[in-house]
Amino acid sequence: MVTIKDIAKALNLSPSTVSRALRGSYEINPQTKQLVLDYAAKMHYYPNPIALSLKGSKSKAIGVIVPEIAHSYFSQVINGIEEVAYKRGYHVVIFQSLESYEREVISIENMMARRVDGVLISISSYTIDFAHLQKLRDNQFPVVLFDRITDEIDTFKVVADNFAGAFAATEHLISTGRRRIAHITSLPWLSITQERLEGYKSALAKYDIAFDESLVKYCSFDAGEITMAIKSLLALTDSPDAFLSMADRLTLSCLTNLKEMGINIPTDISLVGFSNLTVAHLLDPPFSTVVQPAFETGQTAAQLLLDWIEKKDKNVDFNTKKLPMKLLIRKSSQL
């Protein structure tokens, strides 16, 4: 590994001159500059980013925390983040919280110890205390929230238009004549859960359909829970004629369960689910999905974060970006 010192020695110059030539900063003798540049190129000189970090107290790395990497939605988000970061000379350090609050806190500490320049995070399902994030913000540290956000932290946020997505899906089901639409969703305290529920309610209201609490099921990550939820829905006297599931794992679980029970989709029950699976059209039946703008979410969040990091004045005007959802109607909800 060639260093500035090596070059200086070889060219009989001082390290500072070489440094300046390399970054063209001060008015250097053009010849000296050319000499240095040529020699550096010949020797494959690369500045040592670690020394740079130590000097400038910025690491040119950003941290990302997602609940799980191997999940179509999040891997697509990471893809978007990586694309932007890569172009702007940052690298991406990934951690997964595995939906655990403790792991999320540890990951944050880890990242700070690693001196990342900023953090992108989609908060875990079991995070209800945000002190670890607030502490970062208190220290003026750049944090951008995406997907699963919270009101408790004042910062940039990037989300999908969950309200609109749920509204559109519900309206679509209503337009096919469905009136008893079950709403299978995630944990009640999550922002996405609440926004989606509002979209659902709002669509019902638009068509004068009474909201029925018993059609809403909140499911944790226990696989048995969703099976129970579905069974109890089907046992209702006025049982549902449609299922709207609000997360990938729920969507797949609904499909698996209903098929196992021998229920005909969409004749008996229509199905629409939030999902970023790329194979929805190949499922049996081809599955109607509300698709989240995963890649764009990653890009947008990364852009906001990097702009913020690189901004000189620390006066930032926070806002929340809402990206459009896409409703793809397929056979599982077509009557």
Chain residues in the site for DNA (CB under 7 A): 1, 3-5, 12-17, 19-20, 22-23, 25-29, 31-33, 45-48, 51-52, 54-57
For residues 163 and 324, give the distance between their C-alpha atoms in angstroms, rounded to a whole number: 10
Binding of residue 54 to a copy of itself (CB under 8 A)? yes
| Interface region with a copy of itself, contact rule CB under 8 A, candidates 8-16, 202-210, 232-240, 273-281 | 273-281
Q: Which long-range contacts (CB under 8 A, 24 or more apart) does 261-266 make?
A: 261/230, 261/234, 263/234, 265/332, 266/331, 266/332, 266/333, 266/334, 266/335
Q: Are 298 and 121 in contact (CB under 8 A)?
A: no
User: 23 or 114: whose CB is closer to a copy of itself?
Assistant: 114
Q: Print the binding letters for residues 90-109 with a copy of itself: x by CB under 8 A, - otherwise.
A: -xxxxxx------------x
Among 3, 19, 43, 71, binds a copy of itself (CB under 8 A): 71
**Residue 284 interface partner, choices a copy of itself, DNA, none, CB cut-off 5-8 Å depending on type:** a copy of itself
- Compute the C-alpha angle 222/200/238, nearest 5°: 75
User: 34 or 214: whose CB is closer to DNA?
Assistant: 34
List the alpha helices (DSSP H) in 64-130: 72-87, 101-113
User: 32 or 100: whose CB is closer to DNA?
Assistant: 32
* Helix (H/G/I), strand (E/B), else coil: 94: strand
Token code pair at residue 13: 């110059």
CB of 53 to DNA, least distance (A): 8
- The residue behind tokens 């729920």 is 250
Binding of residue 51 to a copy of itself (CB under 8 A)? yes
| Interface region with a copy of itself, contact rule CB under 8 A, candidates 187-195, 216-224, 249-257, 316-324 | 249-257
Binding of residue 239 to a copy of itself (CB under 8 A)? no
For residues 258 and 271, give the distance between their C-alpha atoms in angstroms, rounded to a whole number: 10
**Helices 30-42 & 15-23 angle (0-180, nearest 10):** 90
User: 4 or 254: whose CB is closer to DNA?
Assistant: 4
State how far Cα 253 lies from the chain centre.
Answer: 22
Residues that bind a copy of itself (CB under 8 A): 46-51, 53-54, 59, 61, 68-72, 75-76, 78-79, 82, 86, 91-96, 109-110, 112-115, 252, 255-256, 259, 277-279, 281-286, 295
